A = this chain, B = another copy of it.
Amino acid sequence: MNRTKPVVESPSEEEARVPASERAYRRLKQLILDNEIAAGSQMLELEAAARLGMSRTPVREAMVRLEQEGMVELRPRHGMRVLPISPDALAEIYDILTALEGMAAESAARKGANPDQLAALQQAVDEMEEALAADDLLRWSQADARFHRQLVELAGNRRLASIVEQVSDQAHRARLTTLRLRPKPVSSNRDHAALVAAIRDRDPQKAREIHEQHRRRAAEMLVALVRDFGLKQL
């Protein structure tokens, strides 16, 4: 059991208007996404409360939300445990993302995108290109995340965007951890560029196919990596 040493974190002034439970939720989630609370490790309500400088009540509310999102499990007397992501879980997650983002791509191409939206997508592609040229994988991954988020938003389905974000967050640590273990994502960015073109050309079938294949390939590689390296605590 990995117990985090209490470090009291007081709210800054600008945060003071945000309810404590929301602050707790955001902070705990960030700690999980950043792998600062390791997968498989546990944190008691009282520990989190001490660390965040508040009472147990808002902390508990934050933990319930995180449990609802599939990021953690809550067990009486054991606190909040960050759920590790197994290869099988990763495959599940990416199956869902493939279906939903494929639908988003199709929707975006059907609805069409205005010049600003297309420019933003293209800008993300360009930035990925630059990041690859500069061997800056972190920058690449940030632009990649932005691209995917923008794509989903283009579908104009608020529920979809929310679900995709939650599901994607579950795999975040796995992506981060394997970032330097993967081959340089050159063909990945070719897919991105082709997808932008399909959206511009208003070709829903093509957009969907490109993106589903793209997502499937990425998933296969990621799942295989996690399996091959025996990574268990992601």
A contact set with B: CB distance below 8 Å:
57, 60-61, 64-65, 68-70, 89, 92-93, 95-96, 98-100, 102-103, 107, 155, 157-160, 162-163, 167, 170
A92 to B170: give the CA distance in the assembly, Å: 23
New A-B contacts (6) at CB < 8 Å, excluding given A57-B57, A96-B163, A99-B103? A64-B65, A92-B157, A95-B157, A95-B160, A99-B99, A159-B167
Q: Binding site of A, secondary structure by majority: helix, strand, loop or mixed?
A: helix
Q: Which residue of B99, B155, B158 contacts A100 across the interface (Cβ within 8 Å)?
A: B99
Complex-state Cα separation, A93 to B103, whole angstroms: 13
- Copies of this chain, how many? 2
> Bound state CA distance, A163 and B64, in angstroms?
17
Question: Which listed residue, B65, B102, B107, touches A68 by the CB 8 Å rule?
Answer: B65
In the complex the two chains form, is B159's CB within 8 Å of A92's CB? yes
14 example contacts (A-B, Cβ-Cβ < 8 A) are as follows: A61-B61, A61-B64, A64-B64, A68-B68, A68-B69, A70-B159, A92-B157, A92-B160, A95-B155, A95-B157, A99-B100, A99-B102, A99-B103, A159-B170
